[in-house]
Structure 1
Amino acid sequence: MKALEKSIYAHYAVSKAFNKIILSDLDAYDGTKKEQLKSFIEDLQNGGCISGMIGEFIYHADCKTFYKKHLDDLEEIRDELENSLGECIKNRHRLPHYTFMCWLCFEEYCFDIYRSTFEK
């Protein structure tokens, strides 16, 4: 799916894992693949990972495993995001660091795809 290649974060290896998660959830939505992607990301924008809609990131143990596997990429994505915002991103919900990082980076990855694909 071409839209997934448009992210500014596509060069990170973790993007493949994120794409797998996204693609596995699209069948729950109606329409073309592009319409499904738009609906999926809009749901994520409304509820976020904290809503439990991303099965891979519901449990802290799963987030910890994912974080350890993709630690460098996730930390670099956070650094990129903080640099573009010009400020530190706070863990307002006081989540374990690994859960916070998985949620933050996955959401930012998806929102970047949305911006580059649907906000033209």
Structure 2
Amino acid sequence: MKALLKTSYRIYEVSTVYNKIILRHIESYNGTKKEQLKSFLEDLQQSGCISGMISEFIYHTDCKTFYITHLDDLENIKNDLEDSLGEVIVNRFKNPHYTFMCWLCFEEYCHSIYINEFE
């Protein structure tokens, strides 16, 4: 799906994993693949990973494993985001760092696809 390539974060290896997660989750939505993707991304922007809608990131132990596996990419995505915002991103809800990073980076990845594809 071409829309998944419309993110500046595609340079990171974790993007392949993110795309697989997205493709798995959009199957439960109605419409064409593009409509499914748009609906999924809008739901994620509305509810966030904290809602539990991304099964891969519900449990802290799963987030910890994911974070350890993709540590460099996740930290680089966060750094890229901080550079573009011009400010430090704070874990204001005091979640474990690995959960915070999984949620932040996945949500940012999906947001960048939405902005580049649908806005």
Unaligned runs of 5+ in 1: none
Number of matched pairs: 119
Would you say 1:19 and 2:19 are equivalent positions? yes
Structure-to-structure mapping, 1:1-120, within 5 angstroms: 1-119=1-119
SS at structure 1 position matched to 2:10:
coil
| Equivalent position amino acid for 1:115 in 2 | I
What CA distance in whole angstroms lies between the structure 2 residues aligned with 1:43 and 1:71?
26
| Equivalent position amino acid for 1:88 in 2 | V
Deviations 1:43-94 (A, max 9, x none): 0011000000000000000000000000000000000000000000010110
What CA distance in whole angstroms lies between the structure 2 residues aligned with 1:2 and 1:100?
28
TM-score by length of 1: 0.98
Unaligned runs of 5+ in 2: none
4+ runs deviating over 4 angstroms? none
| Equivalent position amino acid for 1:98 in 2 | Y
| Equivalent position amino acid for 1:93 in 2 | F
What CA distance in whole angstroms lies between the structure 2 residues aligned with 1:80 and 1:18?
17
Identity of aligned residues (%): 69
Please state how far the C-alpha of 1:27 moved relative to its aligned partner.
1.0
Please state how far the C-alpha of 1:14 moved relative to its aligned partner.
0.2
What CA distance in whole angstroms lies between the structure 2 residues aligned with 1:27 and 1:47?
18
What CA distance in whole angstroms lies between the structure 1 residues aligned with 2:27 and 2:86?
37
| Equivalent position amino acid for 1:34 in 2 | K
| Equivalent position amino acid for 2:70 in 1 | H
| Equivalent position amino acid for 2:36 in 1 | Q
